Amino acid sequence: MSLDLIEPILFGLLALTIVGAGLGVVLADRITTSALLMAFTFLNMAGMFVLLGAETVAAFQILIYVGAITVLILYGVMFTPQAPRAYGLFFQKQTTVGAVVAALAALPVMVIAFAFRDTGSIPPRGGDLVPLASSIFTDFAFPFEVASVLLLAAMIGAIVLVKRE
């Protein structure tokens, strides 16, 4: 097999896994299963970023999403035990309406999404670390500092919210 088709094949495999695991997050009856499938979705999304040539974003994705956020969510699952119940009770009363509305909204968006075309220019080689870093630390230096303040505020807020008297 030639290497010409390796990128579409990888894209197809990753896309199938992402959509399947995403549906699993919504439909699974055990919350731990949902959380681990969410981590699996994020891991495959990191593969998608590598396929696009954005290796630095993929590394951030694995560190922050697969690492930090999944661990936080799993702690949340651990601290809020629930009694077992019937499968239908995992869903809201408006489940049918909600699913239909989401599907109806998704249809035109999917049609528009497939209409996007490449400009024909070849994507730049050599990874995205240097352009990303030079953008963040020059043009976006102030928003970057504001983001660190946001993280500090979120940390203090979370501590205050769950602190016992």
Partner 1 sequence: MTTLVPLGAFIALSAALFFIGVAGVLVRRNAIVILMCVELMLNATNLAFVAFSRRLGLIDERGSVFVVFVFVVAAAEVAVGLAIILAAYRNRPTVDVDEVREMKG
Interaction residues for partner 1, span 136-155 (CB under 8 A): 136, 140, 143, 147, 150-151, 153-155
Q: Which of residues 89-108 bind partner 1 (CB under 8 A)?
A: 89-95, 98-99, 101-103, 105-106
Q: Applying CB under 8 A, does 4 fall inside the site for partner 1? A: yes
Q: Applying CB under 8 A, does 57 fall inside the site for partner 1? A: yes
Q: Which two tokens stand for residue 2?
A: 């030639």
* List of residues 6+ apart from 91 with CB closer than 8 A: none
Q: How far apart are CA 103 and CA 132, in angstroms?
A: 35
Q: Applying CB under 8 A, does 60 fall inside the site for partner 1? A: yes
Rule CB under 8 A: choose which of 1, 82, 84, 125 binds partner 1: 82
Of the candidates 78, 75, 81, the one whose C-alpha atom is nearest the C-alpha of residue 158 is: 75
Q: Applying CB under 8 A, does 59 fall inside the site for partner 1? A: no
Rule CB under 8 A: choose which of 1, 84, 86, 115 binds partner 1: 115
Write the Ramachandran bin of 120: left for phi over 0, alpha for psi from -120 to 50, otherwise beta.
Answer: left
